[in-house]
Amino acid sequence: MNAGIPLNDQIYWVGVNDRQTALFEELWPIPDGIAYNSYLILDDQVAIVDGVKDISIDRYIGRIRSLLGGRPVSYLVINHIEPDHSGAIRALCEAFPGMKIVGNKKTMDLLEAFYGIRENLQTVNDGDTLELGKCRLQFHITPMVHWPETMMTYESSHKILFSGDVFGGFSAIEEGIFDDESGDIRRHEDEMLRYFVNVIGKYSVMVQKALAKIRHLDIRMLASTHGLVWRSRPDRAIELYDRWSRYEAEQGAVIVYASMYGNTEKIMETIANSLADARVGIIKVHNVSRVHASYILSDIWRYRAVILGSPTYNTGLFPLMDHLVRLLENKMLRNRIAGLFGSYGWSGGAVKEMTGFVSRMEWDLTDPVIEVKCSATDEDLNKCSLLGSNIAQRLRE
């Protein structure tokens, strides 16, 4: 992917794929890499929409130059100033002197704070337009999706929405940048969900406001800053983000557990078998010690029922379960059916902490809450089966 890829006869993808970074934001695993999408508009005046991280800068600028034919760049539009989209900005300013940087007031404040740039700026307000020739850019400020300065840019001639991080996803896109070129669209949608949950999900209320703001636009293509460009079914990407940001869930259950010596795992297996016997849909089981939290969070966001189990560790939650529930609380996920189980040796504490967490989240807690001393008895296992069947009944409702 050495040259720019045309979205149409005037607009090109000129981004880069990153297969070097192991953890996005130094938190979330990206085993299949990630794309930093940047776009070049060739019109009477030339504009770059969104930049890239400070990797592969020579290749990135070379890709732009190969399409310019010696023409100057008039504008750089910044929909989101986070460094994975602005890291190459100094190099762009040096390569294309006289280029104006376009963004809203909060963008300019952060631009100066990050890079000390104060000149060649053009501040835009919500609804402002920028005429390039045939192409006309209209700016829609969508704050806190997921930074305070985030906005989207609509190109009305070709009906393309440059949406910033919204509708983005993990995974490099070297097999083809468009949704209709992917041989495994489900994988991209899964990575889109994992990106949404871990990066944007906390701001779901603001995502809903942003979706309402762009609902009137005739969107024929979605061009975000990460992941696929949706040219065949932009409505599908919008539908997914709408569903996820309203906390809608699919039928199914996620069981997340920790077990130090196998006793809590035995409880988990009994609950899982009870759920399976009830045929409630998908059942996902995650050992919090072996599966990265980003994948667990993604499944919890996807399915209606969440069942958490933990041994007590030093009078509290098992540390990795504690980490997971803190992440969940930060994400502010709503509208889930919950079940709880745990075990302890010489002192309890884990179940009490998980019960407090479910209460704060305002999830719908299902009885019985199970707390086993040391190893489960037959009576305890009967309660586990009952919890599974009660969760199944709630799902059927």
- Domain with residue 27: its CATH number is 3.60.15.10
Say yes or no: 223 and 264 in one domain.
no
Share of the chain above pLDDT 70, in %: 99
- 262's CB contacts (< 8 A; 6+ apart) are none
Q: Within this chain, do residues 294 and 203 fall inside the same structural domain, yes or no?
A: no
Whichever domain contains 369, its CATH number is: 3.40.50.360
Q: Which of 225, 245, 265 is the last residue of a domain?
A: 245
When pLDDT is averaged across residues 319-341 and rounded to a whole number, the result is: 97
304 and 201 fall within a common domain: no
* Residues facing 121 on adjacent strands: 101
Domain end (from 213, 229, 245): 245
For tokens 């949950």, the residue is 197
Say if residue 280's pLDDT is above 90: no
Q: Which pLDDT score is estimated for 174? A: 77
Question: What pLDDT score was predicted for residue 397?
Answer: 87
Chain centre distance of CA 302: 13
Angle between helices 185-195 and 234-245 (to 10 degrees): 40
Does pTM surpass 0.85? yes
Q: Say whether pLDDT at 75 is over 80.
A: yes
Domain match, 338 and 189 both: no
Q: Which domain holds residue 221?
A: 5-245
Both tokens assigned to 348: 């309890």
Q: What local confidence, expressed as pLDDT, does residue 7 receive?
A: 97
Assess whether pLDDT exceeds 60 at residue 1.
Answer: no
Mean pLDDT, to the nearest integer, of 168-180?
A: 92
Count of CB atoms situated within 10 Å of the CB of 113:
10
Query: Do 164 and 231 share a domain, yes or no?
Result: yes
Alpha-carbon gap, residue 9 to 2, rounded angstroms = 18
pLDDT at 183: 81
Q: What is the CA radius of gyration of the chain?
A: 24
Q: Are residues 257 and 240 in the same domain?
A: no
Condensed to tens digits (0 to 9), the pLDDT of residues 199-225 reads: 999 999 999 999 999 999 999 999 999
Model confidence at 2, pLDDT cuts 50, 70, 90, reads low
Select from 206, 223, 245 the last residue of a domain. 245
Total of domains in the chain? 2
